[in-house]
Structure 1
């Protein structure tokens, strides 16, 4: 079924994808990344080590991996739009759970639920956004980028609220931050529940296509490196800014720059993503991402931190979009959910292992600079590996 098959006035594809982008806004932009804003206060109040702090992102990533593994089966049974909505609602629930207690087990369970919900919403939402984008083939790369800019809205909104909320409420107020983020996410979820997502809920394009790992193994390894590398930057940079003397305003500005950069991503990278059907586009974008992660190693001046946030942010969101563009170029439409799920699984394994490794390194060395160095090197390796991926024969 297409938008024109419906009896009511058709919804413009860009508008529908923008509504759909609220799923990763809640699941990733807030559900995953707002933790970084609350982490310094949680770590001080709950007396966590960096390893314990990293574990919270590891358990979230493990949930994300589990969700990615089951999304394709759930989509075949319940449909894309239903899985997007259920996953997003699960993320809202998890945010509320995080406000209930400082108990490590309960918080771990809440972060696990957040990861599962985010994966369901992201994989199903990505497949649905790809389907919607096909209604305007000439603008499909741009339309897809709108969906992947969604987390930027979550990062921006949480960055505008959380640092100042924590300052006003005082030490130990991290749970209030989670409660406010849950309320904000609930409001953002309403358009998803009301929009006619079912107009594109079914996948078409011929018989089912078997997804094979071997032809894209090098690309999957590169995406694994991205998952392992980006997480250190996004988990510990706010703590890094705070330890360097940055107050709430500096933390908010840094975080908001990352989020705001997502909104220019569709225009910055649309030609690059249409440049090559293999891995070259991902290599270029991921190399820029590695540069953004490495910049704080050369100084902590406001200018360097601002450039780092902008460079990292504008490329971070585009890496994920480039993998979906790769799927769209190289696979039949019927294989998109399975292919996107495979990419998400590789990414999920990387971001599951990344926080534990980086937290352990930071505890051992005693410096967050080591975490950033490992992060940048891992991203650079991912960029190198992705460049060896060639277009697939269809």
Structure 2
């Protein structure tokens, strides 16, 4: 039986490394939002129906979820750097195949590979941040990651719209360039953050045991649910906002684009504020503040939408509600991975898979009421906020000294470090 090693020192995350990790986390918005304006052109050029073209997006999202669940545990076994470099090379090659696809089915297959391989940037990027930081420093880093990554949803659709006149294939050549930039950043900046003595060597059986033990830990489970439900509310807003702002509130397309950009920048600003407040307040306290603000804003928003309030009243409340999601996601991610230090890759993979599963679930639900009402969006935001608070309370019931780690079997690697939690202020 291996003994529990001394807790290693955390070297921290430099500014340049933080920027590269944030870039690696932007694979989803760039690879989804950029090419949406070119859907009709793709259908015409490839002789495909709308449903077949939409399948290219579905294939990417499925690959993204499956890739995280596969690559995360592999990075716990083989280290972070090699799987990241291999997968980012594959994502770049897949983007080239997308740009050269002769028919929609080759494009669908290439999009799955692009999502599967691109998932490495998300899951390993988060794992590297967790490996190199802890406690309040981790909460600050994840808050900054959320903030910097939040710029991508603003830039991606704008860039995609500008590239439409050049043809839909140019969208994928642009994605090829972004993927190559990610590869260069990973090669030159991202270090190996998981030393050999902390790696897991038990294969699929050990990975399954690790996942079961993580899910059995109410602290980890509560925090990843908090994170996923925070993203659920955000996706509910993103999916419904075009119809709510244009059809219900009566704004133009350009006004909607401007409002979407302002709300995204609000999230960035809130994340930066959260990072500055860490140290004066605990991550749990800031998480609770964010959840309270999101719930209050969502409830007011629902009441306004049900009453038919004008845009001048609704949009400021929507801005504050969306902005405060940054307090929820940054702190909950840090707290979740703080309870999975023995398997940061697996922990990040499960958190990411839950994130996109929740997003995929809520997107069609907010449209059930039709295009002329914003009430379903308000209900989705309130429901996600209430459930998220319940998940946070579940996590807070776990004693700070309790670890999620299983006892290791021979040859599987070290035990987990004790989970560290503090009480909210």
Q: Same fold (TM over 0.5)?
A: yes
C-alpha distance in 2 between matches for 1:295 and 1:151: 31
C-alpha distance in 1 between matches for 2:356 and 2:314: 30
Work out whether residues 34 and 158 of structure 1, in 8 Å CA contact, stay in contact via their aligned partners in 2.
yes
C-alpha distance in 1 between matches for 2:272 and 2:287: 20
How far apart are residue 24 of structure 1 and its match? 0.7
Residue number among 307, 318, 327 corresponding to 1:308 in the alignment: 318
User: What is the total number of aligned residue pairs between the two structures?
Assistant: 372
Residue 15 of structure 1 corresponds to: 16
Match runs of 1:93-108 below 5 Å: 93-100=93-100, 105-108=105-108
Residue 383 of structure 1 corresponds to: 388
Q: What's the secondary structure of 1:198's corresponding residue?
A: coil
C-alpha distance in 1 between matches for 2:75 and 2:294: 30
C-alpha distance in 1 between matches for 2:60 and 2:379: 21
Residue number among 235, 243, 249 corresponding to 1:231 in the alignment: 235
Match runs of 1:316-355 below 5 Å: 316-331=325-340, 333-355=341-363
Which one is further off, 110-119 or 285-294? 285-294
Q: What's the secondary structure of 2:214's corresponding residue?
A: coil
Q: What's the secondary structure of 2:348's corresponding residue?
A: helix
Cα distance change, pair 128–320 in 1 and its aligned pair in 2 (3 A) = same
How far apart are residue 334 of structure 1 and its match? 1.6
Work out whether residues 29 and 150 of structure 1, in 8 Å CA contact, stay in contact via their aligned partners in 2.
no
Residue number among 188, 195, 215 corresponding to 1:194 in the alignment: 188
Work out whether residues 71 and 120 of structure 1, in 8 Å CA contact, stay in contact via their aligned partners in 2.
yes
Work out whether residues 71 and 123 of structure 1, in 8 Å CA contact, stay in contact via their aligned partners in 2.
yes
Q: Can you list the C-alpha shifts for 1:316-336, whole angstroms capped at 9, x where unaligned?
A: 4443322322124434x2233
Q: Can you list the C-alpha shifts for 1:125-151, whole angstroms capped at 9, x where unaligned?
A: 1010122234xx664322232223342
Match runs of 1:9-158 below 5 Å: 13-25=14-26, 27-35=27-35, 48=50, 53=54, 57-100=57-100, 105-134=105-134, 139-158=137-156
Residue 214 of structure 1 corresponds to: 216
Q: What's the secondary structure of 2:32's corresponding residue?
A: coil
Larger Rg, first or second structure (1 or 2): 2
Q: Can you list the C-alpha shifts for 1:17-51, whole angstroms capped at 9, x where unaligned?
A: 222211012x12312343555568779997647x9
C-alpha distance in 1 between matches for 2:107 and 2:319: 28
How far apart are residue 368 of structure 1 and its match? 7.1
Cα distance change, pair 274–14 in 1 and its aligned pair in 2 (3 A) = farther
How far apart are residue 122 of structure 1 and its match? 1.2
Q: What's the secondary structure of 1:200's corresponding residue?
A: coil
For structure 1, list consecutive stretches of 5 or more residues without a partner in the other structure.
5-10
C-alpha distance in 1 between matches for 2:53 and 2:394: 36
CA RMSD of aligned residues (A): 4.4
Residue 163 of structure 1 corresponds to: 161
Work out whether residues 56 and 108 of structure 2, in 8 Å CA contact, stay in contact via their aligned partners in 1.
yes
Cα distance change, pair 40–146 in 1 and its aligned pair in 2 (3 A) = farther
Work out whether residues 23 and 150 of structure 1, in 8 Å CA contact, stay in contact via their aligned partners in 2.
no
C-alpha distance in 2 between matches for 1:44 and 1:293: 40
C-alpha distance in 1 between matches for 2:372 and 2:334: 38
C-alpha distance in 2 between matches for 1:111 and 1:75: 23
Work out whether residues 222 and 391 of structure 2, in 8 Å CA contact, stay in contact via their aligned partners in 1.
yes
Cα distance change, pair 219–37 in 1 and its aligned pair in 2 (3 A) = farther
How far apart are residue 202 of structure 1 and its match? 3.2
More helix by share: 1
Cα distance change, pair 370–48 in 1 and its aligned pair in 2 (3 A) = farther
Work out whether residues 73 and 349 of structure 2, in 8 Å CA contact, stay in contact via their aligned partners in 1.
no
Which one is further off, 336-345 or 31-40? 31-40
Q: What's the secondary structure of 2:395's corresponding residue?
A: coil
Cα distance change, pair 41–259 in 1 and its aligned pair in 2 (3 A) = farther
Q: What's the secondary structure of 2:195's corresponding residue?
A: coil
For structure 2, list consecutive stretches of 5 or more residues without a partner in the other structure.
1-7, 202-208, 403-425
Work out whether residues 148 and 318 of structure 1, in 8 Å CA contact, stay in contact via their aligned partners in 2.
no
Work out whether residues 29 and 151 of structure 1, in 8 Å CA contact, stay in contact via their aligned partners in 2.
no
How far apart are residue 81 of structure 1 and its match? 2.3
Q: What's the secondary structure of 2:150's corresponding residue?
A: helix
C-alpha distance in 1 between matches for 2:303 and 2:92: 34
How far apart are residue 121 of structure 1 and its match? 1.7
- TM superposition score normalised by structure 1: 0.73
